[in-house]
Amino acid sequence: MEPIFTPALHKQRHQFVIDFVKRNRPRKVVDLGCGECSLLKKLKFHREVEVLVGVDIDGAKLKKCMHGLAPIPTDYLQPTYDQLHIELYQGSVTQNDPRLRGFHLVTSIELIEHLTLPDVERFSEVVFGYMIPAEVIISTPNSEYNPLLPGLRGFRHSDHKFEWTRAEFQSWAVKVSSEYGYEVEFTGVGEAPPGQQERVGYCSQIAVFHRLRGRDGCNILFADDAEDLLSYTLLYTVNYPSLHDNNILRRVLVSEVIYWTEKLKRRWREVRTEERDESIVWCQTAAEGDECFRSSECGAEINRLMEHCGRYMAENQEEEVFGTKGQGKQESCRLQRCVSIPLAVLWTSCPKVSALSGNLSNLRHLLTTDPEVKLSQDGSSLLVDLQEQDLEEEGDHDLEDSGYTEVSQCSYSAAQEEDWEPNV
Amino acid sequence: MTGRARARSRGRARGQETIAPGASQAREPTPAPVPPTEGELVGRGRQKGTPGPFSAEAVLQISAGFQQVKLGDRGGRRRDFHDAGINTRQAMEHVKDSKTGSSGDVVPLTANFFRILSRPQWVLYQYHVDYKPQMESRRLRSALLFHHEETLGSARSFDGALLFLPHRLQGKETVLHSETKHGEKVQITITLTNELPPSSPVCIQFYNIIFRRILRILNMQQIGRNYYNPNDPLNIPQHRLTIWPGYTTTILQYESAIMLSTDVSHKVLRSETVLDFMINLRQQCGGQRFPDACSKELIGLIVLTKYNNKTYRIDEIAWDHTPKNTFKKGDSDISFKNYYKSQYNLNISDDNQPLLVSHVKRMGPAGAPPPGPAMLIPELCYLTGLTDKMRADFKIMKDLDHHTKLLPDQREDRLTRFVSNIQRNADAQAELDKWGLNFDKMLLKLSGRILPRERIAQGSRSYEYSQAQADWSKEMRGLPLISSPPLNNWYMFYTSRNSNEAQMLLQNINKVSAPLGIRTQRPVMIEYEDYQESLLRLLQQNVGPETQMLKHLMIVGIDCYHDISAGKRSIGALVASLNNSMSRWYSKCVLQHKGQEIMDGLKMALTGALKDYLKFNNCLPSRIIVYRDGVGDGQLHSVVNYEVSQILESIKSMGHDYVPKLSVVVVKKRISTRFFAHFNGKATNPPPGTVVDTEVTRPEWYDFYIVSQAVRQGSVSPTHYNVVYDTSGLKPDHMQRLTYKLCHMYYNWQGIIRVPAPCQYAHKMAFLVGQSIHKEPHSKLEDLLYYL
């Protein structure tokens, strides 16, 4: 049994990667030998990562675990600008696949010791010579630590093909670095008991490689892409909801706009009814509106918005009377009332709307194509229907007591007798 | 070692949780249920049963198996929401052969069920897997076993001890060898223990697990028990609501076949966090009233978190906690703020928010003590569902209905599309093919019966009503009532603002009361200056068909109401008829606290009702029919095992020679079964009076569905009646018709309602007490219908 590390050793290895990601903010990360995807599941919370890829030879294991990487319900509720795209491949790290080129970070946690030495050779070629990521993290057991693991005979896992000492690992890493143009540092997790660290080193040794030719140089051209075969099988792919998706952006924006306009409308109506009670006809001139909004006590934000809008709101009260004039319209008299809210006001007063749309013309552009909102003809303001919908309030009569409408009578003779009692 | 302990030691969660009715927490009722027995190594799924008071030794395979063998789907201990394993029908001789009625016209219907078509001779093979040496960790067991994919194949299910395969391994016993990480050699012995036919309970549970996998393949999100589609939300921005369309699905053995029952379901989600909600609320009601208002609105609601896929119920708000508080993680203390930052990279911006407390019911890993309450950060939680305040808001409900109320043809269309989507999705189909399963493409066709219209007796006359409307408000006008006490001494309270309206009301009352035979005197008019309204129900009506076919009958209705805000108190209400014309009712309400059985109090109430009946009629009823409402999913078994015996005891207390005929009927309104009638090729709601007692009922129950009410919008939802105890000897047909008749008897509505009148009375009373009174009503009110 391994001595109990706190936190557990595998967690420490993952934490090492996560800390690295937090410091270096790579945007595209691939985990080779991702197994049960536990590292990916942690990395998905670090939204500086935009592309997250996992590769493992065991497709069945991936299939079993892949749904754990799906977005959770709350990811859909308030999407942010962060993007995340996750892909899982079944494939061998000894084979090239063009889809894995151009990553910022490649991690390979406790993987290489499962490969035969010739395969390790091929692995180095694939990772450093073909994928050419900016940074690589490789961890492997440190065999010098093994005597401290009680009850351990042979390797730590039956599938291990080798377990290296620090010197063996470092000589491999240095050789690879000089061959492919990387520099390497060594560290590890799982410290030895006090006083022995120097002698045995970390339980898991880790090498961190940096590509020498500029670390932000993921813009190397991979000219030969077309010739490469796609040797990996794509098992799973998912896009996290993000405001970069125009449909989602529009949906969120329109929701926000409607929320604010509805709030305005309600408030405006309240003010109107108050005024009506005092038998003052409001809105003869739009300028008057300014004052009555200010006097109302409601949230500071909406107050500010109302102030703005009061100045601009113009009530188009048109009474259209269609008599016998024809034109195919049958409504005899329709009261159509609209309030127009200039987009500029909306944009300046609702911080969320402005943050979402970026600029005014973008806001206009996003709103024009949406069927849920109505813009004025020149597209400069939002038309809000003031039609009182609750005029047609028809209560749900289910189980409600009803009043009396009309009286009609029909009576029948009493129901015929039926005897249900079984003969006793 | 007891069966339960043994089950635990084998790393499997067994046993059906017993849920006390009313109380939402698990508690074992007395008499204690027989501990679930092990899935013995016997053939053909015949295991020893768990006989309750009413089940004979020969337990149906379907029922028994569920309690014993549970496949580890997510490893947790889960409640059996399907109430399987409760076999009540066999104890009732008169319905053993047939539980179908006969009256009424046969009508062709479809229901929201799809048949499962598995390939012929489909058998699931159950293996027992043994490790030598013993392996403790379930994960390790799986890993070791799955090294042998070439032997086992890709279609397999393993819960740590039981392995299920759709094919047979070569020998009866297969020995495999694996090696652990540490090089330890392990011998795995796989022994065939069972061949499960498609209808066995394990297989059925199995279908459900596979089906859930399918839904996940379709990229649906699980929230609670159902799956929803997040990619096509319906937004109601004015209320900051988002609705996800989804489906409820259950696969069960129904009367004649195994079927998938699926219904359209909508999940209401809030596109704001709990913190946003709190800030809004504070703005609305001010700092002083805020804590109270906040508790009232939030407690009992279900939240989703930003960092995992779990749902939590808010049980408390910890006002004295903030995200800066610390908790123990491993050996060290860490603040909530730092924990969420380091673990999930989530920033908490408001350091002064209180925390939400959720008492996690789920047990810890086998043997370990249950974890303490979960502390949640409002900023990281989203609300789901509606608050009571929102439910009461007409506008919100209207906007919601607009999106969620589906006409029968829309609903039918969505369901058919759902099943065809599964069939079109290659991955989903591959998963089904792997196991050799398939679903019917068409909704289940079945036939129901429309019960004849009832005659309404009012005063000296009786009349019929329009069946489609299920209402006789027109017909009742101008006829004198059966009995109408004069309104001699009464008050009318009104505000000065409404004095005109008050006068109008008075005039109208005078106008209508004369033809109805109510004598009214002029009231004492009191004008008051107050916004508080005191509502007086004035008109004493008395409408109802007389059910004279059964003499000396007492109908009892029981319902309960869960008062979440007042420390999870539940209120049980019992209403019992006192005369033959069902116009006098005895009522009693009991408050019960956490963990208390609802029948403890209602037993006394029933005794009280019987005594009152004796006083009124000078005799005890010779028949008692109890309609029990408010039984949640998975609670049936405590009604059957516990409540029925309580009722019997209470009857016995009236005298040893008193043996009335008793029927106990469990009434369920919130079900996902839907029926569609077809009219001119279009799906419509079945007319009121439609009874279904075949195909979609359960073979082990004496149950039926009645559509009693008419709805104006959306699809009608039938009511499910499950007769769990019956010594009345009434034919099923009579039981159905009596139930339907009772749906006509509600005092306050001149139409047919969803449930028998006593259930509705009990509901109203429990609601009133739970919402407003909060204590037991005075005993003087016991025989008045004051609670309507």
Give the separation between CA B417 and CA B35, rounded to whole angstroms. 44
Tens digit of pLDDT for each residue in B691-738?
Answer: 999 889 988 899 999 998 888 778 888 999 999 999 888 889 889 988
CA distance to partner chain B, nearest, from residue A117 (Å):
20
Give the separation between CA B673 and CA B685, rounded to whole angstroms. 13
* Residue B382 with chain A: CB contacts under 8 Å: 73-74, 77-78
Chain B interface includes A245 (CB < 8 A) = no
Where do we find the tokens 């479809």? B110
Average pLDDT over residues A166-174: 95
CA distance to partner chain B, nearest, from residue A325 (Å):
35
CA distance to partner chain B, nearest, from residue A45 (Å):
5
Residue of B257 and B119 predicted with greater confidence? B257
Per-residue tokens: B732: 């099923």
Q: What is the DSSP code string of A64-133?
A: HHGGGGSPPHHHHHS--S---EEEEEE--TTS--GGG-S-SEEEEES-GGGS-HHHHHHHHIIIIIII--
Helix (H, G, I), strand (E, B) or coil at B121: coil
Question: Who's near A423: CB < 8 A, 6+ residues apart?
Answer: none
Where do we find the tokens 């034109």? A327
Give the separation between CA A375 and CA A384, rounded to whole angstroms. 9
* Residue A78 with chain B: CB contacts under 8 Å: 271-273, 382
Q: If you average pLDDT over each of A345-349, B129-133, B329-333, B769-773, which comes out highest?
A: B129-133
Amino acid at B508: N
Nearest to B609 by CA among B637, B632, B634, B578: B578
pLDDT above 80 for A127: yes
Model's pTM, two decimal places? 0.73
Interface test with A, best of B135, B307, B474 (most A CBs within 10 A): B474
Give the separation between CA B383 and CA B378, rounded to whole angstroms. 9
Given a contact cutoff of 8 angstroms between Cβ atoms, the answer to whether B623 and B550 are in contact is: yes
Residue of A352 and A104 predicted with greater confidence? A104
ipTM surpasses cut 0.90 = no
B221–A418 CB contact, under 8 Å: no
Tens digit of pLDDT for each residue in A238-262?
Answer: 999 888 888 888 888 888 888 888 8
Q: What is the pLDDT of residue B394?
A: 83
Nearest to B762 by CA among B587, B516, B513, B569: B587
Per-residue tokens: A323: 């008599």
Phi, psi (degrees; rounded to nearest 5) at B702: -100, 90
Chain B interface includes A152 (CB < 8 A) = yes
Chain B interface includes A358 (CB < 8 A) = no
Phi, psi (degrees; rounded to nearest 5) at B703: -135, 160
Pairing of strands A51-56, A105-109: unpaired
Q: Which residues of B are catalytic?
A: 559, 597, 629, 763
Helix (H, G, I), strand (E, B) or coil at A255: helix
B462–A398 CB contact, under 8 Å: no
Structure confidence at residue A125 as a pLDDT band (50, 70, 90): very high
Give the separation between CA B414 and CA A17, rounded to whole angstroms. 46
Interface test with A, best of B179, B185, B221 (most A CBs within 10 A): B221
pLDDT above 60 for A407: no
Tens digit of pLDDT for each residue in A38-68?
Answer: 999 999 998 889 999 999 998 888 888 888 8
Give the separation between CA B378 and CA B706, rounded to whole angstroms. 44
What residue in B sits closest to A260 (Cα-Cα)? B238
Pairing of strands B661-668, B719-726: antiparallel
Average pLDDT over residues A297-301: 43
A399: part of which helix (H) or strand (E)? none
Chain A interface includes B2 (CB < 8 A) = no
CB atoms within 10 A of CB B508: 12
Given a contact cutoff of 8 angstroms between Cβ atoms, the answer to whether A282 and A275 are in contact is: yes
Nearest to B383 by CA among B311, B468, B467, B486: B311
Give the separation between CA B487 and CA A320, rounded to whole angstroms. 52
Interface of A with B in 375-404 (CB under 8 A): 390, 393, 396-402, 404
Chain A interface includes B271 (CB < 8 A) = yes
CA distance to partner chain A, nearest, from residue B767 (Å):
15
pLDDT above 80 for B506: no
Average pLDDT over residues B179-201: 81
Tens digit of pLDDT for each residue in A179-226?
Answer: 999 999 999 998 888 888 888 899 999 999 999 875 444 455 555 555
B223–A422 CB contact, under 8 Å: no
Chain A interface includes B283 (CB < 8 A) = yes
Minimum-distance CB partner of A72 among B308, B478, B734? B308
CA distance to partner chain B, nearest, from residue A282 (Å):
24
CB atoms within 10 A of CB B166: 19
Tens digit of pLDDT for each residue in A89-101?
Answer: 999 999 999 999 8
DSSP state of B640: I
B60-74, B465-479, B546-560: lowest mean pLDDT where? Answer: B60-74
Tens digit of pLDDT for each residue in B579-592?
Answer: 877 777 888 888 77
